[in-house]
């Protein structure tokens, strides 16, 4: 007998493994594991109906997860739409909700378990976190930080970052975290936009065992900042980086020692007071300062952490994102700590010093939930199951993905080899602007469909529409819209209400009818069960011989081909057609980017859209150029198609892939 390259007699166990593998490969839908359902936070399917019938008051269940200084008198004020306000009249403090209120029952329990790049570890109990947050809040006050001053943080994944965030929240000073991998120019742009006069940074950090200087980059950025800035520097590298502090620079730990034992009363903040700014890319090239507020945002992240991630106070939960992105804000800091759980932070990369680093951490810390990116899961697949097999992953109860759609093959690998087919997988769609998860399954309530994020969460009215705003039929591609507000939503763009309306509300909204529809600029499909598959950004249309073709529709046709993991479509200059269709394709593991697959892709596009959409080129690549947050840089792919200068690619997550793709295109 010969099967899958294995020849010889098969044992009963071998036959069972093959049978299970076949069943897993063929399955298109998975029920929640019974053991998970028995202990889950949310198990009643009527929650969807409750939110629909009792909207918006049903959102009180999110607010009830928090402690309020003053009770709110109205759940939603939509009188000045689209400038919606949530839990109006209420007041609270985010730092007190994430730290102080857990002291009686959780004071001696870990709040943050930090694992450094070099293997060092630090644990902060809630009592220890409370002490350092208070001391640093006193430092900020001593440095002249007042309520509503914006404090910028330019830091890697070290514990001082969430401590600084919570200290700012304690004194009512909004924070603006800038991802440590961003350039000096990016730091300066964001500090100027926020009029920020305070910066918290560090001397450096480690990556793959090497010490990387960071302070020099921060100082380069400060040279371009218009206002005077006071800087606090965390000494992360110690003896590996010798530096002297300059004017207006202070050492974090020295300042902390001066405030030893200090206690700062949490400032009572209105529910609609700003908690933080997060700058994200915009269509004009200028970053957008997304404003999130204290009451609605904190309630929403707490509720989604409770309902989707199934977080309990006794858990050890790990989101492997960077706090420099919204995922880290919502699901490393604010959501988990509001629920009083233990949140794991990891400074390093998943394959240093070995490719089993992630699984070693899960094993050592008895992690109960793992929330990571499909990009990482695809890497784990390529490295092989022998790495997770080295470790005991039985502590895991739930798995999650975030950042981009996950293809069914990667989903099933994650479900089987990491979750042992006993952990539900929540595939979550959301954005910086939404504050928290919007589309995903409730893990103890809804079945899972690999490749599909799932239905909208209770209380979220997400629809898939055509260009005219009419809902599309099941199985068709369209544009994702959200038709009612939600507590975690952005309130505006900092100091730019006009751009807030033009960027998010104009496409399908009808202000004359008092109808405001949020358009996140993503394409999606919906099936007969209301499950939504997000297809990616709707960046542009391609004008081929006068025919306007949506890149989203073409990409949808391509990813439907067996063996295709991901695709990006752009327009390239063409002498006869004006523009031609260029497709860049990542294959699934086990598939070759050969001529047969190329023809299948071309035929799928022609069958779905028509011969006019026939790709001019199908370029196979192991990766697509992406930003640090996981967005495909289609502009660069257009430049490659046109043979244009590629410019500076150093801020990409994977700059090396750009030249590789360019060489392939030129070679063809």
Shared domain for 269 and 125, answered yes or no, is: yes
pLDDT on residue 655 = 83
| pLDDT tens digits, 132-174 | 999 999 999 999 999 999 999 999 999 999 999 999 999 999 9
Q: Give the pLDDT confidence score for residue 125 in this predicted structure.
A: 98
Q: Would you say residue 516 lies in a domain? A: no
Residues of the chain with pLDDT under 70: 1-27, 281-285, 539-541, 545-548, 550, 628-630, 650-651, 668
20 lies in some domain:
yes
Residue 640, pLDDT score: 87
CB 624 within 8 A of CB 566: yes
18 and 36, same domain (yes or no)? no
* Whether residue 589 sits in one domain with residue 492: no
pLDDT in tens, 609-647: 778 789 999 999 988 888 766 678 888 888 888 888 887
- Residue 441 and residue 546 share a domain: no
Domain that holds residue 4: 1-26
Q: What is the 3-state secondary structure (H, E, C) of 416-471?
A: HHHCCCCCCEEECECCCCCCCCCECCCCCCCCECCCCCECECCCCCEEEECCCCCE
Going by their DSSP bridges, the two strands 2-3 and 6-7 should be labelled as antiparallel
227 shares a domain with 115: yes
Q: Are residues 22 and 99 in the same domain?
A: no
For residues 631 and 661, state if they share a domain.
Answer: yes
Q: Is residue 412 part of a domain?
A: yes
Q: How far apart are CA 599 and CA 648, in angstroms?
A: 34
Structural tokens at position 655 = 């700059």
Q: What is the CATH number of the domain that holds 582?
A: 3.30.300.30
507 located within any domain: no
SS3 for 407? coil
pLDDT of residue 21: 52
Count of domains in the chain?
Answer: 3
Compute the residue count for the chain. 668
Do residue 97 and residue 3 come from a single domain?
A: no
Query: From CA 473, how far away is CA 396, in angstroms rounded?
Result: 38
Judge whether 526 lies within some domain: no
pLDDT digits (tens, 9 = 90+) for 487-532: 999 999 999 999 999 989 988 998 888 899 999 988 899 999 999 9
Same domain, 4 and 90: no
């Amino acid at each position: 007998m010969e099967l899958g390259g294995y020849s010889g007699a098969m044992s009963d166990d071998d036959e069972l493994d093959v049978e299970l593998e076949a069943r897993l490969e063929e399955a298109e839908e998975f029920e929640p594991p019974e053991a998970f359902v028995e202990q889950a936070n949310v198990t009643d399917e009527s929650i969807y109906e409750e939110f629909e019938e009792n909207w918006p008051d049903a959102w009180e269940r999110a607010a009830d997860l928090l402690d309020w200084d003053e009770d709110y008198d109205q759940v939603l004020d939509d009188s000045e739409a689209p400038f919606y306000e949530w839990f109006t009249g209420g007041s609270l403090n985010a730092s007190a909700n994430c730290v102080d209120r857990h002291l009686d029952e959780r004071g001696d329990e870990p709040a943050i378990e930090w694992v450094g790049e070099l293997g060092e570890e630090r644990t902060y109990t809630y009592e220890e976190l409370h002490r350092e947050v208070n001391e640093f809040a006193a430092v900020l006050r001593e440095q002249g930080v007042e309520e509503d001053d914006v404090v910028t943080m330019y830091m890697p994944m070290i514990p001082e970052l969430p401590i600084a965030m919570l200290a700012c929240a304690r004194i009512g000073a909004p924070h603006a975290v800038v991802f440590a991998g961003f350039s000096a120019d990016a730091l300066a742009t964001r500090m100027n936009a926020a009029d920020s006069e305070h910066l918290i940074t560090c001397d450096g950090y480690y990556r793959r065992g090497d010490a990387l200087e960071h302070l020099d980059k921060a100082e380069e950025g400060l040279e371009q900042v218009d206002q005077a800035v006071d800087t606090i520097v965390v000494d992360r590298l110690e003896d590996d980086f010798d530096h002297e502090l300059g004017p207006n620079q202070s050492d974090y730990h020295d300042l902390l020692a001066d405030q030893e034992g200090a206690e700062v009363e949490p400032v009572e903040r209105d529910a609609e007071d700003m908690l933080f700014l997060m700058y994200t890319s915009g269509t004009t090239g200028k970053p957008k300062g997304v404003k999130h507020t204290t009451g609605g945002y904190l309630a929403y992240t707490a509720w989604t952490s409770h309902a989707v991630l199934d977080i309990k106070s006794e858990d050890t939960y790990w989101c492997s994102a960077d706090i420099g992105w919204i995922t880290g804000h919502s699901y490393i800091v604010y959501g988990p700590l509001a629920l009083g759980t233990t949140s794991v932070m990891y400074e390093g990369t998943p394959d240093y010093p070995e490719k089993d680093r992630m699984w070693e951490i899960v094993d050592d810390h008895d992690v109960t939930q793992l929330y990571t990116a499909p990009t990482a899961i695809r890497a784990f697949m390529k490295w092989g199951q022998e790495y997770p097999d080295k470790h005991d992953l039985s502590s895991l109860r739930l798995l999650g993905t975030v950042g981009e759609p996950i293809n069914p093959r990667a989903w099933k690998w994650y479900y089987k080899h990491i979750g042992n087919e006993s952990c539900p997988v929540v595939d979550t769609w959301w954005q910086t602007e939404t504050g928290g998860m919007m589309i995903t399954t409730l893990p103890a309530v809804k079945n899972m469909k690999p490749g599909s994020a799932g239905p909208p969460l209770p209380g979220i009215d997400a629809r898939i529409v055509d260009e005219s705003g009419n809902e599309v039929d099941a199985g068709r591609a369209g544009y994702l819209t959200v038709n009612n507000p939600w507590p975690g939503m952005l309130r505006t763009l900092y100091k730019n209400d006009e751009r807030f309306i033009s960027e998010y509300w104009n496409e399908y909204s009808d202000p004359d009818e008092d109808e405001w529809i949020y358009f996140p600029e993503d394409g999606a499909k919906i099936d007969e069960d209301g499950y939504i598959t997000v297809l990616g950004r709707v960046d542009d249309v391609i004008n081929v011989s006068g025919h306007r073709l949506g890149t989203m529709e073409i990409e949808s046709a391509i990813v439907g081909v067996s063996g295709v993991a991901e695709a990006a479509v752009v327009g390239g200059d063409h002498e006869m057609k004006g523009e031609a269709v260029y497709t860049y394709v990542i294959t699934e593991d086990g598939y070759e980017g050969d001529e047969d697959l190329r023809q299948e892709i071309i035929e799928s596009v022609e069958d779905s859209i028509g011969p006019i959409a026939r790709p001019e080129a199908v370029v196979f690549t192991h990766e697509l150029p992406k930003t640090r947050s996981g967005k495909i840089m289609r502009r660069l792919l257009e430049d490659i198609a046109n043979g244009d200068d590629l410019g500076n690619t150093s801020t990409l997550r994977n700059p090396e892939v750009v030249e590789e793709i360019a060489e392939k295109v030129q070679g063809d």
